[in-house]
Amino acid sequence: MDISDLLERAKARLGTDSDRQLAKYLSLASSQFRLYRKGWTYPSDATLLKLAELLDEDPLPLLIEGNIARSEGEVAAAYSSILQQLSHKSSTDQPSKKAA
């Protein structure tokens, strides 16, 4: 997941083009928000939950991707495997469209 894209989508959903306004909505200091924007750190799980809620998205993939970004080695690989299994399950759980 590209965090900048996620932040841009959240700003659009909030109806603002201001990083400062989104940071305020997320209860973040502007300095912390800039670290996310620059890719120097990754949002906490609490922030990812707020973003998922704002975007009306399932928070589970965001939380897993957050843990991948904050982990290394075998732990990151385990989270990646979980995300892949979740993605596969989601694609097979989609209802099939039957011809009328």
HSE-up of residue 45 (Cα within 13 Å, Cβ side): 7
Q: Which two tokens stand for residue 24?
A: 């305020």
Q: Are 63 and 51 within 8 A, CB to CB?
A: no
Q: For the residues of 25-78, what is the DSSP string, one character each? A: HTT--HHHHHHHHHTSS---HHHHHHHHHHHT--HHHHHHHHHHHH--HHHHHH
Q: Which domains does the chain have, with CATH numbers?
A: 3-91 (1.10.260.40)
0.75 exceeded by pTM: yes
Reported as a single tens digit per residue, the pLDDT across 46-92 is 999 999 999 999 999 999 999 999 999 999 999 999 999 988 877 77
